[in-house]
Amino acid sequence: MIDALRPHSDRADGNAPLTALMSVVIIRVSRCRAYDDEADGVTCRFANMTGVVVQRRDFCKFLAIAAASKALPALGQTAQDNQLELPSGFGQYTGDYAQFCALPPEKRVFYQLSGGKIVPAKLDEAAWKPNAMGRPPVLPIPGGSWDGVPMDSPIPDLAGEGPYKPTWDSLLQYDAPEWYRDAKFGIWAHWSPQCVPEAGDWYARNMYIEGSRQYQYHLEHYGPPSRFGYKDLCPQWTLLNWEPDDLIARYKKAGAKIFVALANHHDGFDTWDSKHQPWNAAAMGPHRDVVGAWAAAARKQGLRLGVTVHQAFNWWFFQSCHGADKSGPLAGVPYDGDLTAGESKDQWWQGFDPHRIYGVKHPLNALPDVSYVKDFYDRTRDLIDQHDPDLLYFDNDLVPLGWGGMNIAAYYYNHNLQTHGGRMEAVLNGKEIPDRLAKALVADYERGLTGQIMPYPWQSETCIGEWHYHRRLFEKPGEFGGYLPPRDVIHWMIDTVSKNGTFILNIPGKPDGTIDSKEIAVLDGITDWMQVNGEAIYETRPWKIYGEGPHMVKSGRFQGNSVSKLGPKDIRFTRNKTNTVIYALVLGWPAEPILAEALGSSAATNPGRIARVELIGTQERVHWKQNADGLRVELPKQYRPNVDYAAALKVTLG
């Protein structure tokens, strides 16, 4: 339940007043059981776990974002009353995460919010249960908090040298670079050891949840997780048949201008030669710097490089591995999450501490330890220093983990200026960005779209299937199996670009480093359309309106599949940078003449006089006429392209 509602007059987006529900200054999500599986009558369900959807998690996030919009300088969640006396050890950095993980359980001190105060806590084995992936509580501390972490850093000078400081006021100096606004389309390899079972996303967590689909799969294929855990899957991510140059060439041919590589997921495994995480791809599995190999292949072929960081959730994600079966022959036998480095002798993982990938077992509502936040900072900074990515994506609302994420954001911008001669070339992604902060970074909409042209560049990203490879989708009947068909991919991209966005598409890879034949079929369809019609996408900008027609997509995250209803009566518009050409993209191949009402001589959009209309991809003559009620166009009857997902009309003004 919500512990306290305190109305205020702030505005969530700088324009519209908050509703009564959103008028929350202090939201003690600990009372909403943000970490618990049950929330005082509010149902808690998880996405990608057993086929059910998120309910309470997004609800709590929604409330927390609303509360966060109050304080701009730090934009942490700010409680109205600050706690005057904090526990002596809270927020103090006295040792690194490896040391914290190596401590005996009885010696670890955690902190949690209880009764409105931050108090120390120890692990109580009898009362322990795994927490959910909810929103951590608002901390009653000066400067506010985010993700249960103070906004004020206990360690100075983490932002690097340069004009950017770890505050939102400072980050608002940022402007998205021209290359990103021109690129429009990228392809993503969302790869980690979680693809080894070929059983879908969040496998690492769900294999430890007794009764779940992936737990049952693991039992049948690998044995009980008390004997064969996630750590044992990591060396099986071999990538034996991986040819990064060939894959990048295929993605480039499909029209991608950006290639995005997963750097780590919630499982905590780093896919580069990480200096701060022993569980990494150079040390086991492929025994290669995967990010480095992707980076070399992408840059050799002229693509920009993006990397995605999902590590911040590890504190909560992997608590399930510290449990045990509640029934059956192994009831009460601990899963392998409780193993320590001291138990590694004569094992394949000798010298590796499982806690460094699983995280330590902690009380239900324990706040992220300061050493954990510093570990997140160190690993992400190492990724930036080694590979200098053009795009850095956080799978988090705003930026993660309070001072850790804010300092990384500032460091990334400053580092990019230094490596590009003072010119800003960096793109930083975060989610659920309030309108007042939309200039500070590029807002990302996971599997989502917007309902309007956005004033600042933004990003839509989705996957043709599940984020990690799932063989079941390949095995479904049809040319594309259970994957997103290329028609919907193209419509999703067009709608995004018409609204000032960039579109990123994940093609999940198999554990041997290849993609399957139906994924290739999807890519081939995208390739056929983009090679003909890319002129209407690349280096364009939004026109006066994004489009017209009977069908509109749903706005918001996880609403992207609404593109499936778009058809040949729906039109989206882009323009060239000089405003001399408008591209009208008809979302299908109409048998009847097209009427673009917004291009009429008397339209409210005032498009100007049209001098010429061409159909991109053919020299065949197009019959057209600009009337007061719209531009009427008849497509050449004797021409039909290889793929007819959308007809791109080039409308030259004069």
Task: Kindly list the averaged pLDDT for each block of 10 residues, start to end, along the chain of length 654.
Answer: 28 32 32 33 31 38 43 59 84 96 96 95 94 84 95 97 98 98 98 96 96 97 97 97 98 98 97 98 98 98 98 95 96 95 94 97 96 98 98 97 98 98 98 96 95 97 97 98 98 98 98 98 98 98 97 80 91 98 97 96 97 97 97 94 96 97
Buried b (16+ CB within 10 A) or exposed e, 306-319: bbbbbbbbbbbbbb
The reply to whether the predicted model has a pTM over 0.85 is yes
Joined tokens for residue 13: 């987006």
* CA-based nearest residue to 594, from 630, 562, 620: 630
- Beta strands, E only, 290-441: 304-309, 391-397, 427-431
Q: DSSP label at 508?
A: P
How confident is the model at residue 44, as a pLDDT? Answer: 33
Joined tokens for residue 106: 């009885």
How confident is the model at residue 562, as a pLDDT? Answer: 85
The dihedral formed by the CA atoms of 172, 178, 183 and 185, expressed in degrees to the nearest 10: 10
Structural domain range at position 581: 543-653
**121, 123, 125, 262, 372 from 106: Cα distances, Å:** 11, 7, 10, 35, 18
User: Alpha-carbon distance 116 to 130, whole Å?
Assistant: 22
The total number of residues written for the chain in this structure: 654
DSSP H helical segments within 476-573, as ranges? 486-498, 517-533
Residue 260 has phi, psi (to 5 degrees) of: -120, 130
**Helix, strand and coil percent figures for the chain, each rounded to 5:** 30, 20, 55
How confident is the model at residue 147, as a pLDDT? Answer: 96
Number of domains in the chain: 1
Dihedral over Cα of 203, 208, 213, 218: its sign: positive
Instruction: Look at residue 642 and tell me if it is in a domain.
Output: yes
How confident is the model at residue 268, as a pLDDT? Answer: 95
Instruction: Look at residue 579 and tell me if it is in a domain.
Output: yes
Three-state SS at 244: helix
* CA-based nearest residue to 164, from 155, 173, 177: 173
Instruction: Look at residue 640 and tell me if it is in a domain.
Output: yes
**CATH code for the domain in which residue 551 is found:** 2.60.40.1180
User: Alpha-carbon distance 11 to 609, whole Å?
Assistant: 42
Buried b (16+ CB within 10 A) or exposed e, 428-459: bbbbbbbbbbbbbbbbbbbbbbbeebbebbbb
Instruction: Look at residue 466 and tell me if it is in a domain.
Output: no
**235, 398, 401, 530, 562 from 558: Cα distances, Å:** 33, 17, 23, 25, 9
The label of the residue with tokens 């402007």 reads 175
Helix count and strand count (H, E) for the chain: 15, 20
Answer for the pair 3, 27: CB distance below 8 angstroms, yes or no. yes
How confident is the model at residue 107, as a pLDDT? Answer: 96
Instruction: Look at residue 138 and tell me if it is in a domain.
Output: no
> How open is the CA angle 444-448-450, to the nearest 5 degrees?
85
Joined tokens for residue 454: 């956005």
User: Alpha-carbon distance 200 to 482, whole Å?
Assistant: 13
How confident is the model at residue 131, as a pLDDT? Answer: 82
The dihedral formed by the CA atoms of 58, 60, 63 and 65, expressed in degrees to the nearest 10: -70
Instruction: Look at residue 80 and tell me if it is in a domain.
Output: no
